[in-house]
Chains A and B, each alone.
Chain A
C-alpha cells in the first residue's frame, strides 16, 4: 500500500524547503564522485549533477522501506509523520544503501567528467553547493516551494560565478534550462547537456564497440528538451548498431519512474511493459537518465541488461 499522497508530497516539499533536497543525503555521498578528479571549485563553466545520480541509491532503499513504512507507526499517524520529519530527517533513518549501490551511481558523473576532460572542455564543480534542482517538487505541483528553492539554486550558481552549467540527466537539464527561466526574473544561465556538448565536438573514438543495443529515449529529453540525435550520433560513432523499439524518438514510452514516489506498483508495471518493447529488439539497452536506468534495470530482473550511455561512451572515447 503506498503512503498517502498528500503526506508524501508534504514530506518531500518540507525536505526541499528545510534541507535543500527532496531526499537529503550525506554530503560525503553527494561529492564522492569528484574524488581524484581535481576539479576547480566554481568558475564560469561547471559540471552540474543536481544530485540526480547520487540520490538513486537512497531512493531505491526508501522504496524498499516504503512497504514496511506503510505498516508502521509513521503511516498510522500520517500527519504526525510529516510533523516529525520537520524536526528530524526521517528518510535519513530509513535509507542505507550499500557501497556497491553508491559506487554504481558515483561512476556515472565521474564518466561524464572524464569524457569532458578528454574532449578538452574546461570546467569546475560546485561540490556541496551542487544542489538538487527541485524536479520532483515541480512534477508534484508544489510550486511555491519550488519557486523559493529555484531562487536558492540560482543565487548559489551566481555566487560561484557560473555562466554555463553542463548537466548530466534530462530532469536537471529541463529544470535549469526551461523551467527556471519561468520562475526567475532576468535568468541568464546557459545550460547544455553533456551529450550536446560532446556531440558538438569532433571527437575521434579511441576504440570501436560492437553489437546491437536498444535505445531508450527519456521522455524529458525527447519531448521536453529535443535531445534526440546527439546520443544516436555518439553511440553510432562508436560502431554500435542502435535498435529502435516500437515507441522511439518523439514517440518514446516512459520508464514509469515519475510515479515511483507515489505509486511504485504502477511505476513497475510501466517499466515492465517498456522492457518488453526494448527486449524485442535487443538483449542490451542503453539509458540516459538515472530514473530510467534504475526502473528498467529492476523491471528487467535479468531478462536484459541496461547500461547508462556514459558507460558506453567512456569505453569508446577513453584513451
Chain B
C-alpha cells in the first residue's frame, strides 16, 4: 500500500512558482506532449500533492525525459507552471537520490 507523507510537497517545492496543486487533471498535457509522457505532468504532480514519495521515486526516467519544452504549459487551462514544477522534481532527485 502506498504511504503518504504530507511534508513531501514542501521538500519538492523550490520556489513560490511551484504549483502542482493547481492541476485539475484535465489531460491536455498528456494529449499534446511530443514525447508521449503519460505520467508527467499530471500523475506525478498528483503523487507530489498526495505526499506519495515512493511513487515519485519510481518515475525518475520520466522526470528526466521531459524536454521542458512548455508545449503543455502553453496549453494548460489551469496555469500550471509545468516546466518549473518538473525542474523542482529534478532538484529533489538530485538531492535525495543522487546526493548532488
Residue A224, interface by CB 8 Å: yes
Residue A251, interface by CB 8 Å: yes
List CB contacts (< 8 Å) of A184-231 with chain B: 219, 223-224
Which stretch of A6-14, A33-41, A125-133, A303-311 is in the interface? A6-14
Contact with B along A258-284 (1 / 0, CB 8 A): 110011001000100100000000000
Which residues of chain B are within 8 angstroms of A138 by Cβ–Cβ distance? Answer: 87
Which stretch of B3-11, B21-29, B48-56, B62-70 is in the interface? B62-70
A219→B91 contact, CB < 8 A = no
Centre residue among B61, B71, B94 by max chain A CB count within 10 A: B94
Q: CA–CA, A106 to B61, complex, Å?
A: 34
Q: CA–CA, A251 to B91, complex, Å?
A: 27
B100→A263 contact, CB < 8 A = no
A223→B100 contact, CB < 8 A = no
Give, as a whole number of angstroms, the nearest-CB distance from A279 to chain B: 16
**Which of B34, B66, B68 contacts A253 (CB under 8 A)?**
B34
Which residues of chain B are within 8 angstroms of A9 by Cβ–Cβ distance? Answer: 94, 98, 100
Contact with A along B11-50 (1 / 0, CB 8 A): 0001100000000000000000011000000000000000
B65→A219 contact, CB < 8 A = no
List CB contacts (< 8 Å) of A139-168 with chain B: 139-143, 145
Which residues of chain A are within 8 angstroms of B68 by Cβ–Cβ distance? Answer: 139, 258
Residue A5, interface by CB 8 Å: yes
A270→B35 contact, CB < 8 A = yes
Known contacts A6-B98, A13-B100, A263-B64; A253/B88 CB under 8 A: no
**Residue of A with least CB distance to B98:** A6
Residue B81, interface by CB 8 Å: no
B69→A223 contact, CB < 8 A = yes
Residue A241, interface by CB 8 Å: no
Which residues of chain B are within 8 angstroms of A250 by Cβ–Cβ distance? Answer: 74
Which residues of chain B are within 8 angstroms of A253 by Cβ–Cβ distance? Answer: 34, 69, 71
Which residues of chain A are within 8 angstroms of B34 by Cβ–Cβ distance? Answer: 247, 253-254, 270, 273
Residue A109, interface by CB 8 Å: no
Q: CA–CA, A141 to B92, complex, Å?
A: 8
**Which of A13, A141, A251, A252 contacts B89 (CB under 8 A)?**
A141
Q: How large is the interface on A (under 10, 10 to 19, 20 to 34, 35 or more residues)?
A: 20 to 34
A259→B64 contact, CB < 8 A = yes
A258→B67 contact, CB < 8 A = yes
B14→A143 contact, CB < 8 A = yes
Q: CA–CA, A224 to B70, complex, Å?
A: 8
A140→B71 contact, CB < 8 A = no
Which residues of chain A are within 8 angstroms of B61 by Cβ–Cβ distance? Answer: 5, 263
Contact with B along A4-42 (1 / 0, CB 8 A): 011101100100000000000000000000000000000
Contact with B along A233-255 (1 / 0, CB 8 A): 00000000000000100111110
A139→B87 contact, CB < 8 A = yes
Q: CA–CA, A256 to B70, complex, Å?
A: 13
Q: CA–CA, A77 to B64, complex, Å?
A: 22
Known contacts A6-B100, A253-B34, A254-B34; A141/B67 CB under 8 A: no
B94→A219 contact, CB < 8 A = no
Q: CA–CA, A143 to B12, complex, Å?
A: 13
A223→B91 contact, CB < 8 A = no
A266→B70 contact, CB < 8 A = no
Partner-B contacts on A (CB < 8 A): 5-7, 9-10, 13, 138-143, 145, 182, 219, 223-224, 247, 250-254, 256, 258-259, 262-263, 266, 270, 273
Partner-A contacts on B (CB < 8 A): 14-15, 34-35, 60-61, 64-71, 73-74, 87-94, 97-100
Complex A-B: 12 CB contacts under 8 Å: A6-B93, A7-B98, A9-B94, A10-B98, A141-B94, A142-B100, A219-B67, A219-B70, A250-B74, A253-B34, A258-B67, A270-B34
